[in-house]
A and B are shown apart, each in its own frame.
Chain A
Amino acid sequence: MGINWFKYSSPQAFYPLAGKMIPWFSAAALGLIGVGLYIGFFVAPTDFQQGDAYRIIFVHVPAAWMSMFLYVIMAAWAGLGLGLNARPSFMMAQAIAPTGAMFTFLALLTGAMWGKPTWGAWWVWDARLTSELILLFQYIGIILLRASIDDLRRADRASAVLALVGVVNVPIIYFSVRWWNTLHQGASVSMTASPKMATTMVTAMLVMTLGFWMYSFAVTLARMRCVIVERERLPSWGKNPSIQEVAEAR
């Protein structure tokens, strides 16, 4: 039995499907974050160098990863929207941006909370910190650009172009600790080398990251539903709307 995926690419079909998926993603997020916090606070040992301040890693690294993941996903939807001229893709990009901005803000804030006790400074103009701050400005710019254009189709395209151009910053953030001499420490986990931390610490960090992923799915799907209703405000979805009603709603 094949599934007709195109069926779900229409907002009216996607809306109830997303509604069914949100509780599952929410439950998974709660469970994973609960387990991650338990391992992070009760199983993982105290770091011999940084004491218990290192435990900030369990929110800092997942938030920082999500800030970059979500940007790339947002830009991919934006690119798809531009390429296929598909409204739902632009709507996905629109739904992801605020969550990405929030995680970027949290990465910076928790980073400051970690920097003060370990470096003695809340903030330094280091390549990693500066490029992450620029990412926050990019998110804000994309959200504000969309909000400042009344014509939805032009708003979609303009913010999509801005999102796509900004992707260049993501590898800069990621490799900044290698390309430049930074006060920020190097990668905690890499594909090629074994982790430099105790297994329980890595486990807690990865479980928290998975939890943040599930949270992001749930909240962006919920926001997508808001965007669908706001943008496709049809008189009634129960009946088949007339062509004129559809045209007016767009």
Chain B
Amino acid sequence: MQWGSLTEFVAMGGYGLYVWTSFGATALCMVWEVLAVWRRHASATAGSHDVS
């Protein structure tokens, strides 16, 4: 473990903006995709009681 404090961790040795943009965008895309598929499934099965 090379981080002395939370501030150091967030700063990422001065590359914080690049590192956190990368990880944030990836997380955002994945969460968005899951929600999009969820909603698509909900609207596709709307009105049908047999398909869960």
If over half of A's interface residues share one DSSP class (helix, strand or loop), that class is named, otherwise mixed; here it is helix
Q: Is A82 an interface residue (CB 8 A)?
A: no
Q: Check B52–A113 contact: CB distance below 8 A.
A: no
Return the CB mask of A175-209 against B: 1 if under 8 Å, else 0.
00000000000000000000000000000000000
Which residues of B sit under 8 angstroms from A249, Cβ to Cβ?
none
Residue A52 CB within 8 A of the other chain: yes
- Report the nearest B residue to A115, measured CB to CB: B18
Q: Check A131 for interface membership: any CB of B closer than 8 A.
A: no
Distance between A96 CB and nearest chain B CB, rounded to angstroms: 12
Q: A59-B26, A110-B22, A215-B30 are in contact. Are A52 and B15 (CB under 8 A)?
A: yes
B14 CB to closest chain A CB (Å) equals 7
Which of the residues B1, B15, B29, B41 comes within 8 Å of A229, measured between beta carbons? B41
Using CB atoms, name the residue of chain A closest to B23.
A59
A-B contact list, 18 entries, CB within 8 Å: A19-B52, A46-B2, A52-B19, A53-B13, A63-B26, A98-B33, A106-B26, A113-B18, A116-B18, A219-B33, A219-B37, A222-B38, A223-B37, A226-B41, A229-B41, A229-B48, A229-B51, A236-B50
